[in-house]
């Protein structure tokens, strides 16, 4: 369940508690469309990468925070450079989303992402991901064939890893990326109807669609998506409706960054509940929930201002 959706059930008194607001955070996204090998696949991967990058703008807000590598530009060197630059740019409170689309393979020892020129191994990608500070929440979506080989290898404390296949043995071209891209723009994926699509919601939607597509084709499923890691709902991967319409507004973008930081604080507090004990847990919980409630009201007010300004345009 989305964290903000639960707040409507809080007592009104909780919303009146005071607490200083946190600093803004950024969402940074890298989308890599690998080698197709055939014209149809090349076009498909290019299109899917573009769709996912475009939808990611509704979360990142700033186009400078969304990078896409595709076609001849998606070389191993370029991917290494982009991940290195990303690792150097992130700050405390940021979130990072990395998406791989295309063909993958497994040689019995290591996974390979098929790219123009030399391929990039799973071990090398893992090392590049390790450069991103461990405190920064990281979502990795590997929508390629054989991607299941890396699910456990890339998984670490503050990460969520989604793969199109459950193992290295599922080697056929995957359908998952197509439905992941669709999840980012359809209200059908937004289960709680809060106009945000989380990684959990997008995964559930895409997984169902993959299964249904094989069923409709009367074919044996050659891919079984999997998700590993704690609390994928903390990652918002797309905004719909007003959230998408006003994503470019810098003030709203800053407020969304604060929202991400607060969600992370709540998740962290919840994971420490057993250590803190109930009395201290609830003492620390109240101001966090108060901050979230206050911030929601500020976001609503800004969206109303933007809507009013939009209606006033000739």
pLDDT digits (tens, 9 = 90+) for 1-43: 344 443 333 332 233 222 333 345 789 999 999 999 899 999 9
pLDDT digits (tens, 9 = 90+) for 177-217: 999 999 999 999 999 888 899 999 999 999 999 999 999 99
Residues 147, 259: Cα–Cα separation, whole Å: 32
- Per-residue model confidence (pLDDT) at position 247: 65
Residue 220's H or E segment, with its range, is none
Q: What's the mean per-residue pLDDT of the chain?
A: 87
pLDDT digits (tens, 9 = 90+) for 289-314: 999 889 888 888 887 877 777 666 54
What CA–CA distances, in Å, run from 30 to 54, 69, 125? 11, 8, 13
What string of DSSP letters covers 256-268? Answer: HHHHHHHHHHHHH
Is 265's pLDDT higher than 90?
A: no
Q: Which of 88-102, 158-172, 231-245 shows the lowest mean pLDDT across its residues? A: 231-245
Check: CB of residue 129 under 8 Å from CB of residue 83: yes
Comparing C-alpha atoms, which of 95, 93, 98 is closest to residue 82? 98
Q: Across residues 126-142, what is the average pLDDT?
A: 96
pLDDT digits (tens, 9 = 90+) for 203-252: 999 999 999 999 999 999 999 999 999 999 999 999 998 766 666 677 87
CB-count exposure of residue 50 (10 Å: 0-12, 13-18, 19+): middle
Residues 135, 147: Cα–Cα separation, whole Å: 25
Structure tokens at 204: 């559930």
Distance from chain centroid for Cα 52: 10
Q: Across residues 159-185, what is the average pLDDT?
A: 97
Which fold does the domain 27-239 belong to in CATH? Answer: Rossmann fold (3.40.50)
Is 84's pLDDT higher than 70?
A: yes
């Amino acid at each position: 369940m989305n964290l903000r959706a639960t707040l409507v059930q809080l007592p009104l008194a909780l919303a009146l508690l005071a607490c200083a607001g946190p600093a803004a955070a950024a969402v940074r996204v890298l989308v890599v469309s690998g080698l197709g090998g055939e014209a149809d696949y090349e076009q498909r991967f290019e299109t899917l990468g573009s769709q996912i990058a475009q939808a990611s703008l509704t979360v990142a807000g700033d186009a400078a925070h969304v990078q896409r590598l595709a076609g001849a530009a998606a070389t191993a060197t370029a991917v290494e450079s982009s991940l290195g630059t990303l690792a150097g740019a992130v700050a405390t409170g940021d979130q990072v989303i990395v998406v791989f689309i295309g063909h993958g393979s497994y040689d019995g020892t290591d996974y390979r992402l098929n790219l123009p020129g030399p391929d990039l191994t799973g071990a090398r990608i893992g090392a590049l991901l390790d450069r991103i500070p461990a405190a920064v929440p990281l979502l990795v979506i590997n929508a390629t064939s054989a991607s299941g080989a890396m699910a456990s290898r890339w998984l670490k404390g503050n990460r969520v890893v989604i793969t199109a296949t459950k193992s290295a043995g599922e080697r056929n071209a995957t359908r998952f990326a197509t439905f992941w891209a669709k999840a980012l723009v359809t209200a059908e994926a937004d289960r709680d109807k809060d106009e945000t699509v989380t990684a959990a919601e997008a995964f559930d939607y895409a997984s169902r669609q993959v299964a249904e597509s094989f069923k409709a084709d009367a074919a044996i499923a050659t891919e079984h998506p999997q998700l590993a890691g704690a609390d994928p709902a903390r990652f918002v991967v797309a905004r719909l409706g007003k959230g998408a319409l006003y994503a470019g507004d810098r003030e709203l973008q800053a407020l969304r960054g604060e929202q991400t930081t607060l969600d992370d604080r709540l998740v962290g507090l919840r994971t420490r509940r057993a250590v803190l004990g109930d009395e201290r847990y609830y003492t620390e919980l109240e101001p966090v929930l108060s901050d979230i409630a206050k911030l929601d009201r500020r976001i609503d007010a800004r969206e109303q201002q933007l809507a009013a300004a939009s209606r006033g345009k000739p």
